[in-house]
Structure 1
Amino acid sequence: MSAPLGVILAGGQATRMGGGDKGLRVVAGRRLLDHVLDRLGPQVGQIALNANGAPARFDEFGLPVVPDSLPDWPGPLAGVLAGLDWAAGQGAASIVTVAADTPFFPRDLVSRLRAAAGPSGLALAATREGDKLWRHPTFGLWPVALREDLRAALTGGLRKVVLWTDNHGAGTAEFDTVPFDPFFNINTPQDIEIAEQLERQA
């Protein structure tokens, strides 16, 4: 079975960071996108970047840039759909998505998502705090075969990822949070300081 393609979700507006591209912010001497590519690259085939606006600002990464196909920033599912449309053009069967602002996600993310996939081929990453399971819907395995179903759902107004994935029986790949949550993401300037400290443990 060939490896899925990778899609980095960077289409958000980064309002809590004061706008701009979070993926270009520097953590521990490297841009967030550099951290993400370092972890994702060995796990997937070709990688695309889901981002809106002028794609030239990402030229040096040498990645295809695929914008949302739906207007008004409808959320991460629009980025997933853009990635699925791109992957369909490559003849791929599935994609794995990761967030551009999460520099420490697991290096075995893809293999564990594939192992956890439900009957439709969907899977989401998750962590647990006590009895509470926290799903991380920007980290998932998505079959290209469901892209038209997703397009119809988004066009109909769906915005909450897990409502759609639950309807399709998505599996869950649960990850450990020791020594820290691998899905820690950077939303504020203060989070960059935290990430600098976590980098020493990663």
Structure 2
Amino acid sequence: MAGFAAVVLAGGSARRMGGSDKPSLVVAGRSLRDRVLDALADADPRIVVGGRPEVPARVVYTREDPPGGGPVAAIAAGLSLVGPSPQAGRLPQVVALVAGDLPLLTAAAMATLRNALSTADGALFVDPDGRRQLLCGVWRVDSLRRRLTEMASGVQGASMRALVEPLRVVEVPWSGDGPPPWFDCDTEEDLRIVREWLTAKRAG
């Protein structure tokens, strides 16, 4: 599949971690957010929405306006910056939408979703119980922009489920070993699991 863009949602209050800036927490020497950006190294542009404004080179930072408007408002802010790639000279047709606290996300996992997209509007991982992982997916840029236009003023406070419900979605099961790529870090226990997994992986 041709080049793609990426929007990383790095805002949120992290209430279960005392309100910390969760994507900036470090595991195995890298912040959660930067691990996500590493997995999206082939994307152009890469856009971070929310969280700390200090971002790596060749990464664009923005915030939803007003702040705290929820995931769909953050997606709208990020998607507004998806323009023609400086390298390819054309608008990316596909965008990855992922949370900024997925330290086990990999380039291979994202390639799996992109390859599964075909003619659908989006492709998402699903867990063994069939639950869609709404912040670990790839989408057609035009489909998302059409939905945001349809929602208009309803974007503020809207859920990701409301955004994608009418869209045609390919559900992709995960068959890899260990924690899945959508494993997010909502608690200290989650961080402990990730650190143990990454340590074991390096040792192996």
TM-score range, shorter chain: 0.7 to 0.9
Any idea what the Cα deviations from partners look like across 1:145-193, whole Å, max 9, x if unmatched? 1314224426236723234323111222221253223321111223222
Corresponding residue for residue 4 of structure 2: 4
Q: Does 1:138 align with 2:148?
A: no
Shift of 1:39: 1.7
2-structure distance, mates of 1:61, 1:15: 30
2-structure distance, mates of 1:82, 1:46: 14
Corresponding residue for residue 164 of structure 2: 165
2-structure distance, mates of 1:19, 1:113: 32
Within 5 Å, which residues of 2 pair with 1:14-25? 14-25=14-25
Q: Does 1:38 align with 2:33?
A: no
Q: Does 1:155 align with 2:153?
A: yes
The alignment's C-alpha RMSD in Å is 2.5
TM-score normalised to the size of structure 1? 0.81
Unaligned 5+ runs, structure 1: none
Task: Say whether the 8 Å CA contact 1:10–1:49 is kept in structure 2.
Answer: yes
Identity, in percent, stands at 27
Task: Say whether the 8 Å CA contact 1:124–1:141 is kept in structure 2.
Answer: yes
1-structure distance, mates of 2:166, 2:136: 18
Corresponding residue for residue 190 of structure 2: 191
2-structure distance, mates of 1:177, 1:109: 9
TM-score normalised to the size of structure 2? 0.80
Task: Say whether the 8 Å CA contact 1:7–1:95 is kept in structure 2.
Answer: yes
Q: Does 1:181 align with 2:200?
A: no
3-state SS, counterpart of residue 167 of structure 1: coil
